Structure 1
């Protein structure tokens, strides 16, 4: 199956830009795949911006949107990449929403911070962006973010939000504020509670045509005052006087990346009154508001939290076979960061689950971290239209009595049996792992599970990359295994006897073991009628009897 993986990887080429990986598609296939994904993203945009619904997690949407842009760069460079249908309205923003630059990691944050002091840090509140306009102290406009230049009129809805002052005490003719409408939370811990669907609830309340009681409870976090006071301290003080005190409470001066990392970690774990998805750094002084443009700001940057759920593209599908013949399914993925891990593979479990999930290379899957940081498959996020189903092993060919001998079809299960018997609880061959057995399988005389007992240091040394010292070391481990007690060899052979039963087993040689019938096996702990039948069938198998005869001769056991 390793060969199949490389075929799939080789079927991907780097674009001329050197930045994206392009599928090897015909123009017709590329247009079809792009059109299908574009249609789905448009439907999700419509649901979010027009109905206030969020059918897919933000991180998964972003991943698919990036994927579409990658395909467009590969196959439709003249058309330009797709931009989300952001629900831009007809109302112009007096000052554009610039958005924030997303920084990937600590080093990127440190690089961005250079030469930008003084800097201020705030939690990146996860809500819905809005522009508030006060004319002569009176709230006169409330505009959705839209495309950053134009948005929808939300004034009637925002007037229902108690946290937004209807008037402020100021001598200025006009005050323009940009902020985030958020769902207030009690003791929300981002690390354990995640996004809690908070943003979608806020968006839904703002976009519904009928009144929503949730509006009255919403909070607001002001993160920008274009053309406001020169210093952050002055801005925060004046905002508090206006009635926007939340921002002042959650703003920290920072000078070094260590401080940013500290507050990011602290806000990720400590109880907060809102949902967050990272931290935002901004310079104290910014250009005049007339120069602000969407996506053009270098004065503000975000370091987002690693999401608890990410998506990645399936490169290929492997079907590892265990020592008992059980076939597992492993998805090989485009590497993706999840918490502090780079995930390249995720186990899907059984063949049946893979068949039910209907996953092929090119599909996009969502993964999370289970207990102890193990990657876990969650669901398929997107299916490619052109589907090539990998060829899975025939399940009926592999079972607990198959592959005691080395054949091309048996290589996987045979290797699994060898890896098992060299483990510490079995024959305890320290330092001999799967990769060592893979080398040893190049030997012509490696015909059955215990052939290695006959190998000499001279034979081992004939293998590529096996020095005289390494050959002697391997041979030494093989000879030490001869001293292991009888019960360990029973385990090494793979006799399906539970540990408790093996501990209670009075037999000390193969003859006694082979003489047992099903009723005799059932007298041992943990062995019922079905397992007793399985054990006796195992020991009566001709391959197994031949291996036992070989071990009796090699180990001088009766």
Structure 2
């Protein structure tokens, strides 16, 4: 076959397979048998192997293509993924409508859409082809999961019709109820031995939303494909010249090949909005996926621009959340989990009950205070709700159904993992196990924290590897990573080949270049998150300066305060922690700030950035401030020198103006940097 003939056949097969795929996964219509479909796919694959130049990223064969990825690249959103303001009652909806009418001085149409319980995603198409898929992340930036998104059968890789040359859409990736059940059945069959040992609850997927989020972050796209995720698209970002209303935009998206539910409606009043809410409040559990509310949007795109947005939410949309469903069930027992910091979390084991479309068997009880507040007794009949339709929680007890001789539930006094006596510090709700050196869940938890992406980023070391390293006696704490040798790993580690050993050791070596603030975070000091670690490193330029500081000096650091200061003092008073730091120093980790050469234009000036920007992303702006000698802060006070205010700046701008803080536009900030 000539290249020209092969190209012609590849184009025919690709078009046909894309169409069949959409018909089956979006429209629910099966036009040919599975065998016929597979034969066409096989023919296309063979042609792409024989003529490699004909293989495109949009080919139907690439749905599960690609190698596993070790890291997801962080990508800044071209436009922030704002969250919606929530309401739980009709009165707030009426207020929302009154504000809209007052601001616009005219009647408006609304579009009502169901609010689905999944993972928000941003998708960019160029020339009709999917080129990028990014998770919501923190709203400013997210993870590039394009290779995984391609495995979602209802997501078009190539659009049809008269679509824009380049545009962005947003939607919700989800796992249907059917897929959730099928996944758990498959997992159960694959893990029959472990389930026989009473570990079923630890192995099965907990709920569709969490399962979807976990699947989307799998490193191997083939495993993502196994989870059978789905996606609904709910809007176009920015304006398309020929689309003037949100409702028209949704219908155009369907024409281009996107998967949209058939539940959205255009209405002309807030009363009709409420009718839509009541209708789906009764019918939503008949849907193939979980939904926890309704999103109400002003229809006119022109009105979107006029109404604008706050720093966090668009002013032209609001989400109505349905009241969490409740069910009554039996409290069978309480087990206690040990976190990496030694914090003890009680977990209620319940008689299985159906709640918001999933089976609930466990619920967090948080701490001893919550157990006392609920006045829990063994074998109580308790009321369970799903907070935000995701996390089960016990909200009350049916005292009238309590047995007369029922015994009050008493919080444990000893660690369930190592039997050490628990302690509870003054002013804290949590009980802690202080056996940090040999309490197994703490040892593993601290090691997992240390190697995590935001800490030392040793991505070749996962949970199973850590388990085996501990079990074989190769590590007992994080400093032991830096004593590992290829010989020891080869001798003792099972199913660990040369490439795995090389990756692990290279990851350990590379971690020696991680900057001080991340090493400080990696130490796992209670209450010291990544942001606090960065603030501490600005003041205490090396670990010795921090460890020699008084509690008062630490507490004075911006955004730190007394509780964190006390935690750091407690950390340094434990000899084993100081010994660990000495070993990590000897291994060559970065325990002091490496001062970058700065231009010095901003001379220790304090900056807050708010709103949305066009020239720089928020992270780029923060980096420029630091590179030029300034410091970034997150809240407005009289000490702040400059507020850089982009579009849709909200309360921070008002407070800055009230306090007399100098306000800069993005252009003025650029001139200041370049000046």
Where on the TM-score scale, by shorter chain, does this alignment land: which range? 0.3 to 0.5
Q: Which has the larger radius of gyration?
A: 1
Please give the TM-score of this superposition, normalised by the length of structure 1. 0.41
TM-score if structure 2 supplies the norm length? 0.34
